[in-house]
Structure 1
Amino acid sequence: MTAAPVTGHEFAYAFRAGASAMTASGGVAVLLPAKQRLTGLTPAQMQTLKALGRGRPALSELPGAGADPAVTGILDQLVGQGLLTVTMRWAGADLYTLRPFDTPPPRPPVSHECTAVEQLSKFTVIHRVDGRCVAEHPLSWCDIEIHDAGVLAVLTGLPGVDRPVPPVVAELARDLTWAGFTTQDDAEESGFATRSWGAHELWFHRKSTFGVRAKDWGRFGPTKWAAGSYPPLPARKPEYPGPAVALKDVDLDELRVTGDALTSAIEDRRSCRDFDTTSTPTLDQLGEFLYRTHRNRELRVIGTEEFPSRPYPSGGGLYELEVYPVVRECQGLSAGMYHYDSFDHVLRPVTGIEHAAIGRLLTPSSLTLSGGQLPQILFVFAARVGRIMWTYEQIPYAVMLKHVGVLTQTMSLVATDMGLGTVAQGYCDTAAFAELAGVDELTECALGSLVLGTPETLNDRHREVRSSHPHRPLPRWPPGRLPTRR
């Protein structure tokens, strides 16, 4: 990457957003945000780090004019860690910039015989971002900012625009391959995992979840970004003109007296953000909770298709959602991450609580809990996307998000009926989940989560349940057998 530039084109470098270097005397520097300490740096390397923080110097503008191997070496190190943006220039003009947000793989060699770009991936999205033209790929480690119309013409295959010279096209082809923006022949259409995802669905999945692309909580989730610029919308929509039709009120107290548990659960349900550290859920409670919310009640086979049945509705009867309890505190159960086998009604261990990625799941969930406490039990909702995508087109991802909402509601009501507390969370570290579960994100991906625990402050329903409804273990089915629907 940092070899002497071919005449007419060269690379320029700068620290990416959020990255920088603090330098100190004695050849010492600290790379941020990783807080990585470098020692024994040469004066030219120290000058290079300072130059990268001030602007976007080209290789020829750095100490030693790019001939110092110590300078090219530290540039290669920083690029390899995803800390630098890399800009291709021709005759002093910027053509395109690689903007990393993750660690890149090794860069492939350039082929100067290359005169065209390989087939562009169907997942590539080109759009305007803050007045800039940016190409994105959901599975890439970087975005590509396009500064020159000729580069855009090469990407899209549009005619009528002056194309870059062959050396630039060769570098562009290499960088597109390096960034994962290209595909070989019909590779994306021959494999089920890539063919089943639509470009809009995979892009939306990555843009709306935390873990790979989004790593800064300051720009993700409930940031109230519009405060000060736009007034908040009122809770009540303006009334339509015309006379309103009066509706009869419901006597909730009467319904409670008659023993309507559903009404009680609906009315008493509240998001619980403070949990009792002296009284955690029991294994029997966890078993009852999963039995009532997510167990498989029946399995129908029609032709080659299998259709489960669970306590909540699912589009097409496909039930693609899987539940992973991440248990920190539960009486009678070791801490760790489990998979709930809804067919055999058992928990299957996935990994121990000591796994480093467990913290990446649990810690963000504390943002919605009182005093930053960690959840007693965190349920991660993951989707085996092929279950839905095999049948539906264009709408599968939207349908799966609706299913997460349905399951969240079901779990919240059942928990209330059991005297437990829940709070739903609209985010989950998808990268941490994939690492823990050992799954390919295109095959199974995390879509949301829910915290379960013993409430610190009891409402009337919780007190009633605790005092008069001791929890009993439920019978388990014999291995290999499924219950029939009643």
Structure 2
Amino acid sequence: MNLANDRVTGPGGEVRLPRGFPNLEKMCRALATVGLAENENGETVDDPEQIAVCLHLKERFRSRRWIQWVLLDGDSCDLATFEPLNSEFRPGDPHDVTGQRLSRFSYVKRDGADFVLLSPETACRMTLRSDEVLRHIWHLSSPLDGAQANEPLFVALGQFGFLEPGLADEPVERASWAFADAILHSSSRRGLDEPIVGENTDLQEQYPAPQARLVPTGTTYALTPARGKIQLAIDGRRSCRVWQASPIPLPLLSSFLQRLGAVHESFVAGGLERLYKPIPAAGSIHELEWYIAVGNVSGLEQGLYRYCGFEHTLHAVPDSADTAAEMLQNAGSSMGATAEVPPALIVLATRMPRIAWKYRGMAYRLTLLNAGIALDAMYNTATELDLGGCAIGTGDPRPFQRVTGLSWFEESPVVEFALGLPK
């Protein structure tokens, strides 16, 4: 952060300070010790109005991720820095970490000249400032005993979400996720305020764009192109990003969902219930749950709905109107500057416990393959029904998880598909 006149600036914007607020050093002291700060005369500040100002500024700074936490040793030397990765992150309260150990999803990687500790379970990164910290973390493969649990480093790791219960059995939802699957899923979706997904400006600035056409190296054979009805429909498919003002007719949406997600038959094989649906899926497991965020569909109120393919029904998620609007707005902004907010958004959420119960070491790969098949089918079905559709390259799972109350271990969105009547 930088202080210039009455403004504090940093990544993501600036905050204007109240008139007469102390200099930067004293301001930081005031924010850190509200009610115990000193004014410019060195007197203790406990005025309720000034405390309220400090608390307000503290929350605004947190929302911009300007506040970091530093772990010091006895000589006031930095051991580690904890940096929030989204504006919603807050560390937990100090608690007893006896019996806990490093989360199996936590990992250390090099980032420039630093080593950082990361985990998909917490929106925080820990930059290691000392080799001593790295050596201590190395011993966290075993549960902490009572003496270790009192060490400030281990208490901090618990506060910031890097520990897990030691020898307790995992819930099936969490146990279903392999390490590589959890890392890939969390790092390829939005949810962090850092630009980890999107335009790869680093490569674009350093290297020329790879060409689309490869130079033939062997014998060339001419093929006769097909021009049947299905091929013409596929050739005519285009992503749609602008929409009519008219609502999507509910019968049209009903037909769209039935052609893709209706359950034709269920059966048990290998101890697991399998499903026959119009589109294929690995092992006929169909772990992808179909949701729709509704903004402008005739006969439906704005909100998030879950589609049930067994009865061909929609189940409204309670109190989800604002969340649906947020999801639709996110979809519109993700499609580009010229795109409009779509009337509806199809959301496919993976239930990893179902697919991981059958397949080991490839569950997340299979769910992504299934999602790709579903996307292709949605494009073709939308074209056939004279609907417009567009796959969303990025998506933020946080609104979905807030309104459903589901952890990403249980259900997490992997696909978003905008839907509406094309202009």
Common fold: TM-score over 0.5 = yes
For structure 2, which runs of at least 5 residues remain unmatched after alignment?
Answer: 141-146
Alpha-carbon distance between aligned partners in 1 of 2:183 and 2:82, rounded to the nearest angstrom: 18
Residue matched to 2:324: 358
**Residue 210 of structure 1: CA displacement?**
0.8
What is the match of residue 84 of structure 1? 67
Amino acid at match of 1:100: P
Paired position in structure 1 for 2:83? 99
What does residue 272 of structure 1 align with?
A: 240
Q: Is residue 318 from structure 1 mapped to residue 298 from structure 2 by the alignment? A: no
Q: For the aligned residues, what is the CA RMSD? A: 3.7
- 1:294 aligned to which of 261, 271, 275: 261
Report whether the alignment pairs 1:226 with 2:180: no
TM-superposed deviation, 1:181: 1.1
Q: CA deviation at 1:363?
A: 1.4
Aligned residues: 403
Structure number, greater radius of gyration: 1
Distance in 2 between residues matched to 1:412 and 1:378, nearest whole Å: 13
1:68 and 1:33 map into 2 onto residues whose CA distance is: 32
- Deviation per CA, 1:271-303, whole angstroms, max 9, x where unpaired? 1122222x3321110011111111111101236
Mapped contact 2:8–2:14 kept (Cα < 8 A): no
Q: Is the 8 A contact 2:289 2:351 kept in 1?
A: yes
Judge which range, 389-398 or 368-377, deviates more: 368-377
Matched residues in 2 for 1:416 and 1:223: separation? 31
Cα separation, 1, equivalents of 2:72 and 2:421: 60
Which letter maps to 2:137? L
Structure 1 residue 155, shift from structure 2 partner: 0.3
Which 10-residue stretch deviates more, 145-154 or 85-94? 85-94
- Give secondary structure in 1 for the equivalent of 2:163: coil
Q: Is the 8 A contact 1:386 1:443 kept in 2?
A: yes
1:415 aligns with 2:404: no
Q: Among residues 187, 200, 203, which one is paired with 2:180 in the alignment?
A: 200
CA distance 1:36–1:354, shift in 2 (3 Å)? farther
Tell me: CA distance 1:298–1:180, structure 2 relative to 1, closer, same or farther (3 Å): same
- Alignment CA distance shift 1:50-1:153 (3 Å): closer
Q: 1:134–1:146: 8 Å Cα contact kept in structure 2?
A: yes
- 1:333 and 2:300 correspond: yes
- Percent of aligned positions that are identical: 25
Instruction: Note the C-alpha offset of 1:68.
Output: 5.6
2:303/2:316 contact within 8 Å kept = yes
Relative to structure 1, the CA distance from residue 444 to residue 34 in structure 2 (aligned partners, 3 Å threshold; closer, same or farther) is farther
Measure how far apart 1:434 and its partner are. Answer: 0.7
Q: How far apart are the structure 1 equivalents of 2:91 and 2:129? A: 24
**Deviation, structure 1 residue 85:** 1.4
**Larger CA deviation: 92-101 vs 336-345:** 92-101
Q: Give a deviation string over 1:100-131, Cα, whole Å, max 9, x none.
A: 1242144316x8xx9x9942111111111123
CA distance in 1, matches of 2:244, 2:371: 27
Give the CA deviation at 1:146: 0.8
Please give the residue correspondences for 1:423-462 in structure 2 after superposition, counting only pairs within 5 Å: 423-456=390-423
1:400-411 aligned within 5 A: 400-411=367-378
Match of 1:149 in 2: 131
Aligned mates of 1:315, 1:219 — CA distance in 2: 29
2:144 counterpart residue number: none
**In structure 2, do the counterparts of structure 1 residues 145 and 69 end up closer, same or farther at CA, with 3 Å as the change threshold?**
farther
**In the alignment, does 2:189 pair up with 1:209?**
yes
Matched residue SS, 1:239: coil
- Is the CA contact 1:117–1:155 (under 8 Å) kept in the aligned structure 2? no
For 1:299, the aligned partner's letter is S
Preserved contact between residue 274 and residue 369 of structure 1 (Cα < 8 Å): no
Partner of 2:113 in structure 1?
Answer: 131
Shift of 1:352: 5.3
